[in-house]
């Protein structure tokens, strides 16, 4: 056997081994990718339905939070921090926010995007504060989900507009 024959034989064996490995690996990767895609599709549908109920005044995305869900507000607001539980977040942010409003906050979704267990919602929201002035803001929420429920959130919005409302209008009560 010449050196050329030997190299040809080795290359053929390497190519055959790579082809065999690819053949067996592809279905496993495709099945895993399909499962992740199904999770993303399912999570997106759950979040879309929740935002639609919120828009109609018959529900809230906060209904998707598990009791242990943490919620992080990003920014420099005095309220920007991580709230360790659903109830802590509702008591310290949502109830006082709603108590400052004359009308409910209504979302207008620009897009909902999902990848595996993460759903990203970009939306505008508007309401009228108790002093008669409009409140408008644009939000991006990142939901990490497990079994159709939200376990962690990171929220981005204009904290300057939020803080201005928070200091301008005091809460009457906690709705």
Question: For the domain that residue 126 is a member of, what is the CATH number?
Answer: 3.10.450.50
- Spatial separation of the C-alpha atoms in residues 103 and 100, rounded to whole Å: 9
Q: For residue 36, what pLDDT is reported?
A: 79
- Spatial separation of the C-alpha atoms in residues 131 and 103, rounded to whole Å: 11
Q: For residue 11, what pLDDT is reported?
A: 61
Backbone angles phi, psi at 147, to 5 degrees: 50, 45
Annotate 31-56 with b (16+ C-beta within 10 A) or e (fewer): eeeeeeeebbeebbebbeebbeebbe
Backbone angles phi, psi at 9, to 5 degrees: -65, -45
The tens place of each residue's pLDDT in the chain, 175 residues long, gives 666 665 565 566 655 555 555 555 555 558 777 887 899 999 999 999 999 999 999 999 999 999 999 999 999 999 999 999 999 999 999 999 999 999 999 999 999 999 999 999 999 999 999 999 999 999 999 999 999 999 999 999 999 999 999 999 988 754 4
Entry pTM: 0.80
> Which pair of structure tokens corresponds to residue 153?
């959130």
Residue 97, domain member (yes or no): yes
Residue 174, domain member (yes or no): no
Range of the domain at 62: 3-168
Backbone angles phi, psi at 149, to 5 degrees: -120, 150
């Amino acid at each position: 056997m010449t050196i050329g024959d030997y190299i040809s034989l080795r290359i053929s064996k390497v190519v055959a081994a790579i082809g065999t490995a690819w053949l067996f690996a592809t279905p496993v990767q495709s099945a895993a990718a399909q499962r992740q895609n199904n999770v993303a599709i399912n999570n997106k549908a759950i979040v879309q339905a929740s935002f639609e109920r919120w828009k109609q005044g018959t529900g809230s995305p906060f209904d998707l939070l598990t009791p242990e869900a943490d919620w992080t507000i990003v920014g420099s607001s005095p309220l920007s921090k991580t709230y360790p539980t659903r109830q802590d977040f509702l008591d310290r942010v949502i109830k006082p926010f709603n108590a400052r409003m004359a009308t409910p906050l209504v979302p207008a979704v620009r897009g909902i995007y999902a990848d595996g267990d993460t759903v990203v919602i970009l939306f505008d929201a508007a309401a009228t504060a108790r002093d008669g002035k409009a409140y408008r803001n644009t939000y991006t929420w990142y939901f990490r989900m497990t079994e159709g429920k939200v376990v962690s959130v990171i929220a981005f919005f204009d904290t300057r507009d939020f803080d201005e409302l928070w200091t301008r209008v005091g809460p009457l009560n906690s709705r």
